[in-house]
Amino acid sequence: MADDLALDEVVRFTSDLIRLDTTNRGGGDCRERPAAEYAAERLADAGLEPVLLERTEGRTNVVARVAGTDPGADALLLHGHLDVVPAEAADWTVHPFSGEVRDGVVWGRGAVDMKNMDAMILAVVRSWARTGERPRRDVVIAFTADEEASAEDGSGFLADRHPGLFEGCTEGVSESGAFTFHDGSGRQIYPVAAGERGTGWLKLTARGRAGHGSKVNRENAVTRLAAAVTRIGDHEWPLRLTPTVSAALTELAALYGVDPDLARVDQLLEKLGPAAKLVESTVRNSANPTMLDAGYKVNVIPGEAVAYVDGRFLPGGEDEFRTTLDRLTGPDVDWEFHHREVALQAPLDTPTYARMRAAIEEFAPEGHVVPYCMSGGTDAKQFSRLGITGYGFTPLKLPEGYDYQAMFHGVDERVPVEALHFGVRVLDRFLRSA
């Protein structure tokens, strides 16, 4: 089991990493190198040989390998990203890059997404070095850049240019799973991610006839774009159940003692109450208009108008997504992928999933572990190019009233110290048994 020093270190490392401002504003405006160097130094102190890799100067990734006791076993990838989304200090109770520890809570951007997991990884590996523990299988550690944008400087770069570093890896674990979900009636649910919707960020372009704003114009690019955006925003996507979501609904129905009627999913979701939040965003594709850009003067009708849409599609749902967008945009608006990444699905009948479940149950016996599919995406998409099956497993035992999902990209992001301690214990238990 992780030693007491690991519990102290995970808090200190989380705080220190938060203080290193690795804000990713998109378009290449980010510098992860200070956090990468911090992580590499602590890995080296644990006797490992981390390598620092960059596609672009300052956009630094760290990779290291921990040798397991069974050289014939497949390796496991353990990864976390170093960049964070922007934070406006004026909106926060404490400065978002202070890393302040107050009343048993670590505050700051990245406390949940995901410098907490980065700190857990460091604390566990260093504990192994002190106690002489080793995992059964090789564990490849990757701290990545650029996850909060395109991942081109991070996991995409590593998968495409340095695949040899991940030799033998067949499975990987990372963010957004194994956290406490309180349903409001005393139940504690621990969802483990075994899938991700695909990413389909779209650029829509409408073209028309430019002209004076006072004249009749039936070929107005803004009007054409607005009509398409409205159709997309109003569209009701049909229900589509993937194996992961079906399993989640079946297990939740059993937990709540209701009929697991997957032919009437909307009614089933109503019976699940607050727990429906774990699956309601992953029972269908989605497309949400997010950005508009048109015109340069109020009395000039522009010849072109552009919009952006955040689209997500289920595993197996990309063809339907494309066909539907063709229909919704219509003949006067073109669309293309601004950024696209695959949907993922991981099997549940594996020793790895069973060991994740067992690790949680050992330290949270009152909890109920269920699978779920992430509505968004992670670096697991890029690592899947190497044949690595990804799971979301960042264990945190959270108090009632703590809104975990609101912490992601939200104001006053923070994580309880006790949650970090739980995470170290569970992660250590899982990795040594995996």
State the pLDDT at residue 416.
98
Domain range list for the chain: 4-176+378-433, 197-341
Rg (CA), the chain: 23
Percent of the residues in the chain that have a pLDDT greater than 70, as a whole number: 100
Predicted local confidence at residue 427, as pLDDT: 98
3-state secondary structure string across the chain: CCCHHHHHHHHHHHHHHHHCCCECCCCCCCCCHHHHHHHHHHHHHCCCCCEEEECCCCCEEEEEEECCCCCCCCEEEEEEECCECCCCHHHCCCCCCCCCEECCEEECCCCCCCHHHHHHHHHHHHHHHHHCCCCCCCEEEEEECCCCCCCCCCHHHHHHHCHHHHCCEEEEEECCCCECEECCCCCEEEEEEEEECEEEEEEEEEECCCEECCCCCCCCHHHHHHHHHHHHHHCCCCCCCCHHHHHHHHHHHHHHCCCCCCCCHHHHHHHHHHHHHHCHHHCCCEEEEEEEEECCCCCEECCEEEEEEEEEECCCCHHHHHHHHHHHHCCCEEEEEEEEECCEECCCCCHHHHHHHHHHHHHCCCEEEEEEEECCCCCHHHHHHHCCEEEECCCECCCCCCCHHHHCCCCCCEEEHHHHHHHHHHHHHHHHHC
pLDDT band at 434 (very low <50, low <70, confident <90, very high): confident
Which fold does the domain 4-176+378-433 belong to in CATH? Aminopeptidase (3.40.630)
Token pair 């695909």: residue: 198
| Catalytic sites, residue numbers | 83, 147
- The CATH number corresponding to 197-341 among 3.40.50.720, 3.40.50.300, 3.20.20.20, 3.30.70.360 equals 3.30.70.360
Q: What percent of the chain has pLDDT over 90?
A: 98
pLDDT score recorded for residue 1: 80
Q: What is the pLDDT of residue 44?
A: 98
Tracing tokens 């749902």 back to the chain, one arrives at: 317
Measuring CA to CA, how many Å separate 391 from each of 84, 241, 248? Answer: 21, 19, 15
Structure tokens at 119: 């700190």
Q: Is the pLDDT score of 2 beyond 90? A: no
Give mean pLDDT, residues 160-172. 98
75 and 170 Cβ atoms separated by less than 8 Å = yes
Query: What is the model's pTM?
Result: 0.95
Strands 367-374 and 188-196: parallel
Q: What is the tens place of the pLDDT at every residue in 318-361? A: 999 999 999 999 999 999 999 999 999 999 999 999 999 999 99
